[in-house]
Structure 1
């Protein structure tokens, strides 16, 4: 199929559930291909890695969005995300990211290991109790969601009782990150964004009354101390994005990774026998079935990628999931192989927008998978997992397991 047809297939329900054959078809046209007027698609690992680091490529900001969709400010979901670091370029992106980065230092992340282990252990015991009689347990609901949401909510200072409330609202909001959004999904995303913004507005007021040792308090104090460092809209937008990004991708990493281990039990046995190999396993899980499959950029000036010219103003769809299976970079990329040398997946992006919480997501997975396999040695699939019909954020809606 030609590149434009392949992109159309990607946003179909079938393409969203299994994009890898379409990536392979796109790759036949080259690592960077033109798929429409001023629209390019990137499937090559080297090209994607270079382009994500190129300062001439920017994310879609207000000015660019005004040209493409003048009514975008009428969408609370799009408006809130646009005010966050996720959809900002320097110097605004640099300013906002610096304020949050202090929470994600290597020392602070390392200090979270005990918190992660304690919460993961509690969730595993809950799975064992609920599935003791052989009843299937939904891994996504019982572990893959509550662990990362518990961790990011602890960092933000969100009360434990409120955490289940976030799941559907966050899932609704992230629909606006997809390539194609239906009117129904956009309406749900707008409702989710409004609910989340209202929640964090109240949490901000609470932290002004009673400061705490959490990220919300730090951002509130940055806003109140100097409004030029963080506007009110940016404060709320970044709290929402930090919450959503802090668990959506890690939830998908847990589901995608466990599905591979249960379908290839020799790998589960090897990790169970040697839990110190967890970092290698997690890296390969990220490569093999990336929780984030794509990102986009716009060329602020004319450039070239290899022999492919990129005009000023052109949009680039960087397919991270395709780059992670590029045979020019990975031997037998369709094979799950934790022993790969020089394994460098692009699942967390690259350049200035490299995922702020990447080290935390890795830590959670490196703690969780050996614990699951050790405490639940009979863990196995209890039915066919159900994929979410999303492409950008790839994961499972349900993953039924028996705990043994």
Structure 2
């Protein structure tokens, strides 16, 4: 009997697999699970995903800095594996800087950096504030809203169209396509029907942006797409296919990261009322507050790399070609790197989190996401006094990598409301 009890209590390999994230209760709050992974083995072989899983900060930085980002199979390799349906997905990823290594990555990022500069983002600041206010103008008299559908979703979509230089009226169409395609990027398991729908959304995005390029060759527009078309370094230019692939990357990053940042951030603040009051009363701390919210609830939970050679990492022998999954959100709460990592500290001084990655593959669109988040949080807290949760169970999207909400019902005081009226 004792042997049976010991056998039943002994953790199984499946208990430490990232496939546990498919459970709704873990998906909604993965951090206790990440803590178990890190305390068990910070560098752990996940036999179910055939990947090393990294949950410690130091080892995550090593992998992000030194290991290969080019991990996408070619369409021919996918066909040989019986996965030809993923061919269009691979064709795009092979042209995106996120999945490249030097020297190809260096060339592409250099060309794109000419177009996507902090100065260009800063020039959008007034426009971003205007977009936030216009969205809230239609909501402040309601006293309640779905934060995701009514603000956190459309806000970055409209901002990103302004950055790209395309009609802002197209933001609804692009948001639907980008969100549908992103479901393919962030999950371990794929429903066949949803898989085909995601691939079709990708094809629709490609067709849309190829049409934009054709139009803007005749009628140039101020924006990132036109600048990418003109970008040139030592006679080197981007092909149309490279422009489309990386504009899709910017679009999905802008929408997914910022929507999740705002939704996760507001939920976190509402669950920590002292921090919410601190930011509302002192909006000047918004820059450090956004960094802490990015650390505390990472919009993107993990990313992947490939070992370039045989190497030891965290006491484990990694073989050349092994896959590695870096759990950014777990590294962000590593007590070996951050003091009181499970506590929300909006003025945390030492906050080099990994939510936007590290080194040469640091998120290309992070300046826009940061600025949008800063404007969003200050505007929401200023214009929605008394904001509060209307639900005890927020609805989380079924996406393992892209951690965010599908809905978040909140209430707030209408203009002219006074608490003395309730007495």
Separation in 2, partners of 1:236, 1:345: 30
Contact 2:97 2:108 in 1 (8 A): yes
- Give the match for residue 181 of structure 2: 173
Contact 2:72 2:93 in 1 (8 A): no
Match of 2:221 among 212, 223, 233: 212
Separation in 1, partners of 2:78, 2:394: 41
Query: Does residue 59 of structure 2 align to residue 26 of structure 1?
Result: no
Separation in 2, partners of 1:197, 1:337: 42
State the secondary structure of the residue aligned to 1:327: coil
Query: Does residue 230 of structure 2 align to residue 221 of structure 1?
Result: yes
Contact 2:115 2:231 in 1 (8 A): no
Query: How much has 1:36 moved relative to structure 2?
Result: 2.9
Match of 1:350 among 346, 349, 358: 358
State the secondary structure of the residue aligned to 1:28: helix
Alignment of 1:4-403 (within 5 A): 4-7=14-17, 8-36=19-47, 39-54=51-66, 56-62=67-73, 66=77, 70-72=81-83, 74-75=85-86, 76-129=88-141, 131=142, 134=143, 136-177=144-185, 178-222=187-231, 229-383=237-391, 384-403=393-412
Separation in 2, partners of 1:109, 1:121: 18
Contact 1:144 1:255 in 2 (8 A): yes
Separation in 2, partners of 1:219, 1:71: 36
Query: How much has 1:68 moved relative to structure 2?
Result: 9.8
State the secondary structure of the residue aligned to 1:338: coil
Separation in 2, partners of 1:30, 1:376: 44
Separation in 1, partners of 2:74, 2:307: 13
Contact 2:116 2:224 in 1 (8 A): no
Query: How much has 1:63 moved relative to structure 2?
Result: 5.4
Greater RCO, 1 or 2 (C-alpha within 8 Å, sep 6+): 1
State the secondary structure of the residue aligned to 2:139: helix
Separation in 2, partners of 1:93, 1:398: 36
- Scaled by the length of structure 1, the TM-score of the pair is 0.91
State the secondary structure of the residue aligned to 1:356: coil
Query: How much has 1:308 moved relative to structure 2?
Result: 2.2
Structure 2 unaligned spans of 5+: 1-10, 414-423
State the secondary structure of the residue aligned to 1:217: helix
Separation in 2, partners of 1:99, 1:2: 48
Contact 2:148 2:259 in 1 (8 A): yes
Contact 2:115 2:227 in 1 (8 A): no
Query: How much has 1:4 moved relative to structure 2?
Result: 4.6
Does 207-216 or 9-18 show the bigger shift? 9-18
Does 284-293 or 330-339 show the bigger shift? 330-339
Query: How much has 1:400 moved relative to structure 2?
Result: 1.0
Separation in 2, partners of 1:64, 1:201: 21
- Scaled by the length of structure 2, the TM-score of the pair is 0.88
State the secondary structure of the residue aligned to 2:348: coil
State the secondary structure of the residue aligned to 1:21: helix
Separation in 2, partners of 1:47, 1:69: 34
State the secondary structure of the residue aligned to 1:336: coil
Does 269-278 or 92-101 show the bigger shift? 92-101
Does 92-101 or 341-350 show the bigger shift? 92-101
Separation in 2, partners of 1:365, 1:69: 43
CA change 1:67–1:173 in 2 (3 A) is closer
State the secondary structure of the residue aligned to 1:127: coil
Contact 1:72 1:79 in 2 (8 A): no
CA change 1:258–1:58 in 2 (3 A) is same
Greater Cα radius of gyration, structure 1 or 2: 2
Query: How much has 1:65 moved relative to structure 2?
Result: 8.6
CA change 1:64–1:310 in 2 (3 A) is farther
Structure 1 unaligned spans of 5+: none
RMSD of aligned alpha carbons: 2.3
Question: CA-to-partner distance for each residue in 1:333-375, whole Å, 9 max, x for gaps?
Answer: 2221213231121100112211011122111111221121111
